Amino acid sequence: MTTNAGREGAPMPLLVLSEDEQLFRDNIRKFAEESIGPLVKEMDEKGVMDHALVEQFHQLGLMGIEIPEQYGGGGGSFFEAILAVEELSRVDPSVGVLVDVQNTLVNNALIRWGNEEQKKKYLPKMANEWVGSYALSEAGAGSDAFALSTRAEDKGDHWLLNGQKLWITNGKESNLFIVITTVDPSAGYKGITAFIVEKGFPGFTVGKKEDKLGIRASSTTELIFEDCKVPKENLLGEVGKGYKVAIETLNEGRIGIAAQMLGLAQGAFEAAVKYSKERKQFGQPISSFQAVQFELAQMATEITALRLVVYNAARMKDAGYSFLKEAAMAKLWAPQVAERVASQAVEIFGGYGFTKDYPVEKFYRDAKIGSIYEGTSNMQLATIAKMVLGGK
C-alpha cells in the first residue's frame, strides 16, 4: 500500500502524498492549467477534443500510466492514474474521462486479461500512439448490462461480430475497442465473450457522435458491426468468461469516474472562492458575508470527505484488498458532491454563473453524467446494499 511512514512508523493520512506522488500530481496540474485551460471553452463549444492535446497526453505518459515499462508504459500505480484523472478534471472533465477510460478500463483489461502476444502487440501502442474505448452498452443493455444482442459467431479461422453499441466514450478518437459480446444469448452471462477490435477491421464502423449536455469535448458514439471479421487471436480471455472481464474492469473504472467528479468539484470550488474575493457588494467582497463563507465551508468539507473515500478505494486496489464496496460508494457519492458543489458555485457567481463567460456553468453541466455512466447511482446502491447485507 502506497503511504508514507508517519510519526514513529505509523501510516500517514490518506490525503498525504508521497514525494513522488506529489511531484506527479503537481506536474499534471501545471500541464492542465497551462495547456488545457486555454482550450476548454472552444472544445466545449465545438464538441471536439483537440487532437494535439491527445498527442501530448501520450508524450507525457498519461495514456499508459499503469502499463509495465517492458511494454513502453510508465509502470505506475492505479493511484497515480486516479491522481491524473482528478487533476485533469479539475480543469476539464472531458479530458479527464478520456484519460480515465484509457487507463482504468482499456489498458486495465489488456493488462489483466490479455495473453503475452496481445500485450506485446497492443500495450506499446496504447502507451505511445493509440486511444482506446470500452464497448459494453447497447440500446437494450444498460443497467441490465448482460442483456446483450451484439453477437459473435465462431467461423473457424475467425470470429464474425454483428450488432450495435451505444454511448461509447472516446469513440471518435479510438484505434482500439474492447468489445463485450455474446456467443449464445440463451446462455445468459455464461455466453458473454470479450474481443479486441481494431478500428480498421472490415465490417466495423464508428457511427454518429452524440450531441450532449455536458463533457461535450469527449466523444460519445455508436459502434456498428456488420459481419465484422475479427481474428481468432483477438479473443480477450476465454469464451464465455467475458462477464469477468466486464465486471472486474468496471469495478476499477468506477473509481476513475469518482476521481473525475472529485476533480470537477475541486475546480468549481476554486472558481467560486476566487470570484467571492473579487465580487463586491455593499462596499465589500461577498466573501466577507457569513452566508457565503458558510457555503464555501460546506463545499470544502464535502470535497475533502469525498477525496478520502476516493483515495481510500484506490489505495485498497493497489494494496490488493477487496474494494468492490468502496468503489461503489465512491462512484455513488462523487456525482452527488460534484452536482451540489457546482450548483452552489453557480449561485455564488449569481447571474454571471448562468452565462458561458465563466467556468462554473460548464462544471454544472458536466457533473450530471457522473450519476449515469459506468453504473447508475441505483446500481451502486444495489451493490452496496448486497455487500452490507452479506450477499454476493
Per-residue model confidence as pLDDT tens for the chain (392 residues): 444 455 555 666 788 999 999 999 999 999 999 999 999 999 999 999 999 999 999 999 999 999 999 999 999 999 999 999 999 999 999 999 999 999 999 999 999 999 999 999 999 999 999 999 999 999 988 888 788 999 999 999 999 999 999 999 999 999 999 999 999 999 999 999 999 999 999 999 999 999 999 999 999 999 999 999 999 999 999 999 999 999 999 999 999 999 999 999 999 999 999 999 999 999 999 999 999 999 999 999 999 999 999 999 999 999 999 999 999 999 999 999 999 999 999 999 999 999 999 999 999 999 999 999 999 999 999 999 999 998 66
Q: Which of 23, 390, 45 is nearest to 216 (CA)?
A: 45
CATH of 244-388, one of 1.20.140.10, 1.10.3720.10, 3.20.20.20, 3.40.50.150: 1.20.140.10
Spans of all domains in the chain: 7-131, 133-240, 244-388
* The pLDDT value given to residue 2: 46
Q: Report the amino acid identity of residue 296.
A: L
Whether the CB-CB separation of 62 and 104 falls below 8 Å is answered with no
Q: Is 374 a catalytic residue?
A: yes
Share above pLDDT 90 across residues of the chain, in percent, rounded to a whole number: 93
* 154 DSSP β-pair partners: 159
Whether the CB-CB separation of 17 and 25 falls below 8 Å is answered with yes
Q: Which of 94, 92, 97, 173 is nearest to 132 (CA)?
A: 173
Phi/psi of residue 93, nearest 5 degrees? -60, -20
Relative orientation angle of helices 324-349 and 290-319, to the nearest 10 degrees: 160
Q: Cell numbers 440463451 label which residue?
A: 186
* The pLDDT value given to residue 7: 55
At 20-29, the pLDDT tens digits run 999 999 999 9
Q: Which of 30, 33, 111, 39 is nearest to 75 (CA)?
A: 111
* The pLDDT value given to residue 9: 56
DSSP label of 171: T
Say what the pTM is.
0.95
How many C-beta atoms lie closer than 10 Å to residue 149's C-beta?
A: 14
Q: One of 66, 326, 339, 374 is an active-site residue; which one?
A: 374
Which CATH architecture is the domain 7-131 placed in?
Orthogonal Bundle (1.10)
Which CATH architecture is the domain 133-240 placed in?
Beta Barrel (2.40)
Q: What's the rounded Cα separation, in Å, for the pair 284 and 13? A: 38
